[in-house]
Amino acid sequence: MEEKGEVKLLGDWPSPFVIRARIALNIKSVDYDYIEQPVPPVSELLLKSNPVYKKIPVLLHHDKPICESLIIVQYIDEFWSSGPSILPSDPYERAIQHFWAAYVDDQWFRSLCRLAKSKGEEAKAAAIEQVKGGLLLLEEAFEKCSKLGKAFFGGDEIGYLDIALGSYLGWLRVNEKMNYLKLLDEAKTPGLAAWAHSFCAHNAVKSVMPEIDRLTEFAKARYGYQEPTLPTK
């Protein structure tokens, strides 16, 4: 058991990357101090803790900084090994989880960002197809990783890939709300739709997931999100 103050997390509430670290700490029942770091500007503490990227999240464990969200998740899993496992013990299954987590970050989330920033109907339609196409791939991955109908990519409990993808669900819902569309379709991606519900209802998740209306207002103020004009009849 860690003494109070020995584990700190530097973060900002809307960040999906910070949410990853908070979920992992909750899964392991780690007592930690959460230090809000709204950026910009970059605080002296954040600059000292992560001088390379100057970004959140940063986990401070005995004053030693660990940076980058998925590295933090793996560190938490390995250090607090007595708690529920986040990464599978089988090397092949671990490799598969790492592969799809990299896909989520490098490909799928970027397509979601393109949707948010797209201007014009043609660009928006192309971005929507990219996001939906990625979700179809992730639906297939879920069927294989979840082991015959289990609730999560990690099986019966939340795992590494659940955290990687689930941290973006708030921003997915913001894009759905802002564009009057449904990206996570129960008809086309029933596994993911059920998974998203189970994920957000989990005790390790529900206290740290941002409220959608609040996140939408943040997106409008910070990034200039604009709701499309609805066609008149």
Rounded to the nearest 10°, the torsion over CA 43, 28, 200, 218 is: 0
Give the pLDDT confidence score for residue 38 in this predicted structure.
Answer: 85
Is 70 exceeded by the pLDDT of residue 1?
no
In the chain, CATH 3.40.30.10 covers: 7-79
Exposure string (b/e) for 56-67, b if CB count within 10 Å is 16 or more?
Answer: bbbbbbeeebbb
CA–CA dist 22, 146 (Å, integer):
23
Residue 210 has phi, psi (to 5 degrees) of -70, 150
* Total count of residues recorded for the chain: 233
In the chain, CATH 1.20.1050.10 covers: 91-223
Residues with Cβ < 8 Å from 139, sequence gap 6 or more?
188, 189, 190, 191, 192
Is 50 exceeded by the pLDDT of residue 232?
no
CA–CA dist 231, 233 (Å, integer):
7
CA–CA dist 137, 162 (Å, integer):
15
The predicted-structure confidence for 4-43, as pLDDT tens digits, reads as follows: 579 999 999 999 999 999 999 999 999 999 999 987 889 9
Whether the bond into 57 is cis, omega within 30 of 0:
yes
Give the residue with greater pLDDT, 230 vs 132. 132
**Chosen CATH of 91-223 out of 3.40.50.280, 1.20.140.10, 1.20.1050.10, 1.10.150.120:** 1.20.1050.10
CA–CA dist 205, 224 (Å, integer):
28
CATH 3.40.50.300 fits 7-79, yes or no: no
The predicted-structure confidence for 61-100, as pLDDT tens digits, reads as follows: 999 999 999 999 999 999 999 989 999 999 999 999 999 9
List C-alpha distances in Å: 159 to 76, 94, 107, 142.
12, 10, 20, 12
Give the residue with greater pLDDT, 213 vs 38. 213
Give the pLDDT confidence score for residue 94 in this predicted structure.
Answer: 96
Residues with Cβ < 8 Å from 11, sequence gap 6 or more?
18, 21, 22, 34, 35, 36, 37, 56, 57
The predicted-structure confidence for 144-201, as pLDDT tens digits, reads as follows: 988 777 999 989 999 999 999 999 999 999 999 988 999 999 999 999 999 999 999 9
Strand partners, 9: 34, 59
Rounded to the nearest 10°, the torsion over CA 130, 148, 171, 102 is: -60
* pTM for the structure as a whole: 0.93
